[in-house]
Amino acid sequence: MSYQFITSATLPTRHGEFDIHIFENEDGQEHVMLTVGLSVVEQNKDAVDVLTQKQDTLAERPIPLVRIHSECLTGDAFSSLKCDCGPQLNTAMQAIQETGYGAILYLRQEGRGIGLTNKIRAYALQDQGHDTLDANLMLGLPADARVYDMCSPMLAHVGVDAVRLITNNPEKVAYLTAHGIDVVERVPLVVGVNDMNADYLATKRDRMGHLLDKEFNTAIHLNK
């Protein structure tokens, strides 16, 4: 799948001002990148200029703080307590503004890539007592259908080839590393833990390999 940059603009938020960049794939699926302190690499410069710019970037710039966030309409927009997505997104936006240098890659892979309708079907099975993983499998769907191949071209657009990645999911680290992005640090993000999502987080920890400890604390606890 190839991804094309479409357009960008400034976006003031309650966390501070971001630049918002839209990318599209051949199927017309839109992905979004919010950036702070990152400049678009000028595509039309000749190879020497681009190389010099890259070397300048490596020499002078800190490693940007980056969050790869998968769309969760219920958590991001409706403040659902069934997951931790809303607090994760807000905390990451705030942390990136505080460092002044980084990006949110907001990937339109709702419901770990199975789509909103199937996620709500899975929620209906969860209402009957099944966990987040079994609910997907009972629907004949993969536990996690996401891909991350859009991340390299999105990051390349702003000249980023090394990141401090905000995540508890080792698959994201592995995917980026295998696709030429240097993950120099993983920054854990444990926020928004509540009575309604404790089982969901435990399933991610115990059955899906997420790097969460027994008490849902990690070395860096960005609790807001």
Ligand X SMILES: Nc1nc2c(ncn2[C@@H]2O[C@H](COP(=O)(O)OP(=O)(O)OP(=O)(O)O)[C@@H](O)[C@H]2O)c(=O)[nH]1
Interface residues for ligand X in 184-213 (CB under 6 A)?
Answer: 204, 210
68 is in an annotated binding site: yes
151 is in an annotated binding site: no
Q: Smaller CB distance to ligand X: residue 36 or 114?
A: 114
- CA–CA separation, 67 vs 195, rounded Å? 25
Per-residue binder mask for Zn ion (CB under 5 A), 57-86, x = binder? ---------------x--x-------x-x-
When asked if residue 169 is in the footprint of ligand X (CB under 6 A), the reply is yes
- CA–CA separation, 134 vs 153, rounded Å? 33
Give the number of other Cβ atoms within 10 Å of residue 211's Cβ. 16
Q: Is 144 a catalytic residue?
A: yes
Annotated catalytic residue, options 108, 144, 161, 205: 144
Burial class (CB in 10 A: 0-12, 13-18, 19+), 66: buried
Q: Is 207 a catalytic residue?
A: no
Sign of the C-alpha dihedral computed for residues 213, 203, 224 and 114 taken in this order: positive
For ligand X, the binding residue among 85, 89, 173, 183 (CB under 6 A) is 85
Supply the DSSP string of 127-166, one letter for each residue. Answer: HTT--HHHHHHHTT--S-----TTHHHHHHHTT--EEEEE
When asked if residue 164 is in the footprint of ligand X (CB under 6 A), the reply is no
When asked if residue 121 is in the footprint of ligand X (CB under 6 A), the reply is no
86 is in an annotated binding site: no
Annotated catalytic residue, options 76, 121, 131, 146: 146
Just list the catalytic residues: 144, 146
